[in-house]
Amino acid sequence: MTPTQSTQIPDSELFAYPHLYRKIAGALQYLSITRPDIAFAANQICQYMHAPTNYHFQLLKRLLRYIKGSLDYGLPISPGNLSLRTYEEADWASDSSDRKSVSGFCTYLGNTLISWSVKKQTTVAKSSTEAEYRSLSAAVSDVLWLRRLVQELQLPQSSPTTIYCDNTSAINCSGKKSYFSRSHQTY
């Protein structure tokens, strides 16, 4: 499923077996824990569990066919360097129905993916910088938690965790304590 593909088809009929749709969609959501390659598509499919249409069921079957052809995919665990690094991204106003942005980040311990998230932001961002800044903030929160976890697992991090962000304005905002004047507070 492409990120820009619209999943809302207004003149599509309701799917005749919504219970079946919900059952399969729920199983796909569970599977996405170990298959991050299907996480976005599973999330999109799950957004229509309350009233799935025939079009949504076609998307669900398409995802099942992809899974059948990629059974060997998964999360590889490899030995090596044990330093944390994170990549974050945001897609500004990507949902045309509500104009909300989608945030995503993933964190590696060495070469092994250990944490990831893709979520629609709760409010509408007024700019791509704001959307990226929110995504960066969520990634930092996750990194702080992960650093505490790996410390408990006796894998101390001797250097700061690198967080990769491709938005120069969001990077600049993250270094300023009172950038957002809307709240009139210093952070």
pLDDT at position 172 is 81
Nearest to 127 by CA among 98, 93, 95, 87: 93
Tallying the residues shown for the chain, one arrives at 187
Q: Where are the domains of the chain?
A: 18-69, 84-183
Residue 185's pLDDT is what? 36
How many other β-carbons are positioned within 10 Å of the β-carbon of residue 127?
A: 14
For domain 84-183, give its CATH number from 3.40.30, 3.30.420, 1.20.1440, 1.10.10.
Answer: 3.30.420
For residue 1 the two structure tokens come to 């499923």
Evaluate whether 118 touches 149 at the Cβ level (below 8 Å).
no
Q: Give the pTM.
A: 0.59
151-177 CB burial, b ≥16 within 10 A, e <16: eeeeeeeeeebebebebeebbebbeee
Query: Is the predicted pLDDT of residue 187 greater than 70, yes or no?
Result: no
Which pLDDT score is estimated for 70? 93
pLDDT of residue 106: 93
Region 117-139: mean pLDDT is: 87
Distance CA 87, CA 163 (A): 6
Q: For all residues of the chain together, what is the average pLDDT?
A: 84
- Tell me the angle at which helices 18-31 and 54-69 cross, rounded to the nearest 10 degrees: 40
pLDDT tens, residue by residue, 69-113: 998 887 777 778 889 999 998 888 777 778 888 889 999 999 888
Whole-angstrom distance, CA of residue 7 vs CA of residue 24: 17
